[in-house]
Structure 1
């Protein structure tokens, strides 16, 4: 993509309410634009990151047999009344009537809709287990939206729901999701800590939230230093018996580990999983016929990931005073080509067209701007690699490849650039 043809409205002056690092950097780099309080338009650069995250999530969900569907954003209030949860969200749930006087809500979550779909079609144990998921926009009318996309009113959410015949089978589904979440977050370049969590209004008696460590995180996390050796492990058993609590659940007076082993850090919640049994299947009449011919409510679990929230969280975890530092797997572009002056443009064109044959994830800064502006914007947008074409190296058909994260540079022959960037070892 040629930057001269792209739409990246970078900002120099930020609104006063932009206090979170991720909010500032997303606005400055032209990833989003605020349309209303807590509501954002995702511009082309930001949308590419959002889609990269979605792709990783889909890959891990497909690998465990989850089936993607798409639930509506608007839901009838009737099914929320039927589930007994209509009043739980209070004023955060946006409610209104259609022209026929039927009350609708803009869904803050989708347990009722998925249970409704399931009960309409599945009636026998022979059709179990089932795992359904969607990636859809949600709305919660926050009293005070803040931190940009990390606590907005409209947000993109992945929610999945498992339907099983027995509790044992439901717990196996839960453990399968636990592993899939660890794999997904690790693929995004994140170190994630699974923390025992409260179930809140969603209900249930087994729940984990997934926290990524970030100095600017809104949650205080207390955990055993032994957990550092487990980060990236996928089995739920790997984390059994290791202390990890969010601040509201940590009781310092009765903490079961020695003070020397206790690490206090900041975290951002990016995912939450629940097993809640028959909390919804019972009231919503999601019953199946068992092997014995008995009608029983299915055992359910719910599994959420804040997709749009993750974009902000990744930036909070990976940035410096110059801008964003994207992990390769979620970067909007793998590399940006920067010819430093007019005499290097011809080589820039050649390199760009050559790399396009291997990947579309290449940004070419072909603007008629100074080298200083190009370097500043490249650091701000945070592509993992900068391909710098200067006069001296240009004469030798070489380029400088700079790693945005480490700041290290290597000289590469133009003919070898494709191999360096797209080899399995460099990715």
Structure 2
């Protein structure tokens, strides 16, 4: 491809609204342009890289028996009402004046097709996949393609007659994803994750380390433990019981509103201070007890509570329910609330909490004796340095970018959509489903996040739009033009993808800067100095290493370097 005839609009300056490296470089290198918040147009260079990633996805999905579909982006709203996902916040874009939604994923449509056509256990298992544009009602698009309203996704769905079959398809996808990300040159790791709005019995995320990441993960460097902070646990012990077990006693705490203020007032640590957090679940007031300054993890809370909307109770509502402000709430004498506690408080005594009237607290609380608890759950957020639950080494907590997510959905969607089959005994059973997604743009963006320098992108040979970037230093020198054209034809005839900078209107220095910005694996530089010795320079973009080769040996040299 001749650069003089190719649309690659590079930018000298970093756009002011681009913060993370991948966003900056995808704009500067002319891979894409923003149409509106969270919506991008892919230009020829960006789409060419995207197609490279898509080819890897197709090959690996086909290898595990996947069959490619193309499902409609427009879905009837009724399908999403059946599965109770229509009104999940920040998920679905809807069409005004039509009972239609723009699908962010396709479990509903797959379930609808399966309900019509899967009749018997003999029709199973199935793996259906597609690579298609998706839409999400993202309230705050940011980080370029990492958090958008429109995106390209490989989504696949497994249909099985049993949970054992689902386990097989789930593991097949997990291995396929590992191959996809290895082939894409990504340094990734796998974490346990929350199923969130998808539901189901389990899920894992494929992550890349990045300060730009919007997910947070807890990892152990001594063993393989890793989990999204939404579900991460640690080996931090519970606070246990103390020998003395006196009756509860109320005492004044003037102007004390927080755990820190209470610890200071009592001249103690926060370990035996039971913090009360108030929420409403399915219209029932809920009191959650945590140790001292432990922070409530809302994802864990939602998972523990199951179906039903969960929201914090505001100060005004709390005052009307209890007559007290937030800093004075506690489990003793509290009426009309369901009470649950974090596992660190299991069977604890000697606790101090609010008295449900301002400026007063209660000491000597024994959760076994004094409180009617509706269960203990892991509800707290893990902190850096806490012991790994597997080996005890300190955990690290860091940002990461999700590049893939796999789910064991079970029968949630098949039951809602009446997608059933007859088993070997002739009994009707719900299809057991799995769901598996990869963001295509995220493969590209994460590669750039992990492979760039101050000059631009550093493509690997798998995702690079072109393998070679020829720079003709001067289009005013006849010999340079002749040899550059000959080299271009020779490499192209050899089946090597080549971008040829044959622009006559820009300086050599500008061409070299563009070559580094665009970042193809090899730069073949044709200039007067080298041609005096009948040689051409080859520069490796990743290392900056330069090699002079005979002009008639460029093809072999390039092939050799690309095969490494």
Offset, 1:407 = 1.1
1:105 paired to 2:123: no
Cα distance in 2 between the residues matched to 1:255 and 1:58: 37
Which residue is 2:355 aligned to? Answer: none
Work out whether residues 461 and 562 of structure 2, in 8 Å CA contact, stay in contact via their aligned partners in 1.
no
Within 2, Cα distance between the matches of 1:403 and 1:423? 12
Residues in 1 aligned to 2:415 and 2:68: alpha-carbon distance in whole angstroms? 24
User: Is residue 345 from structure 1 mapped to residue 481 from structure 2 by the alignment?
Assistant: yes
* Secondary structure in structure 2 of the residue aligned to 1:330: coil
Partner of 2:35: 35
SS at match of 2:116: helix
Q: Distance in 1 between matches of 2:30 and 2:562?
A: 31
The 3-state SS of whatever aligns with 2:414 is: coil
Deviation at 1:218, TM superposition (A): 2.9
More helix by share: 1
Aligned positions of 1:16-415 closer than 5 A? 16-88=16-88, 90-97=89-96, 102-226=98-222, 242-250=224-232, 251-252=382-383, 253-256=386-389, 262-341=395-474, 342-343=476-477, 344-359=480-495, 361-368=497-504, 369-415=506-552
Q: Hey, what does 1:231 align to over in structure 2?
A: none
Check whether the contact 2:83–2:417 (CA below 8 A) recurs between aligned residues. yes
Q: State the Cα RMSD in Å.
A: 1.8
Supply the distance in 2 between the matched residues of 1:187 and 1:95 (Cα, whole angstroms). 37
Report the CA distance between 1:410 and its aligned residue: 1.6
Count of matched residue positions in the alignment of Structure 1 and Structure 2:
409
- Kindly state the Cα deviation for residue 273 of structure 1 after the two structures are TM-superposed: 0.2
CA distance in structure 1 between the partners assigned to 2:561 and 2:55 by the alignment: 19
**Do the aligned partners of 2:469 and 2:520 also contact (CA within 8 Å) in 1?**
yes
Is contact 1:338-1:365 (8 Å) kept? yes
Contact kept? 2:31, 2:46, Cα under 8 Å: yes
Q: Matched residues in 2 for 1:257 and 1:276: separation?
A: 26
> Contact 2:387–2:395 (CA<8 Å) still a contact in 1?
no
**CA spacing shift, 1:254–1:205, aligned 2, 3 Å:** farther
**Unpaired segments of 5 or more residues in structure 1?**
228-241
Distance 1:169 1:258, change over 3 A: closer
Equivalent position SS for 1:329 = coil
Aligned residue for 1:4, secondary structure, equals: helix
Per-residue CA distance 1:88-118 (angstroms, 9 max, x = gap): 2x344111246xxx40001111110111122
Taking the aligned partners of 2:393 and 2:166, their CA distance within structure 1 comes to 38
String of CA shifts for 1:246-265, please: whole Å, max 9, x gaps. 33444243532667664554
CA contact (8 A) 2:387 2:393 kept: no
TM-score, normalization by structure 2: 0.70
Determine the C-alpha separation between the residues in 2 that align with 1:265 and 1:254: 15
SS in 1 for 2:191: strand
Structure 2 portions without partners, runs of 5+: 233-381
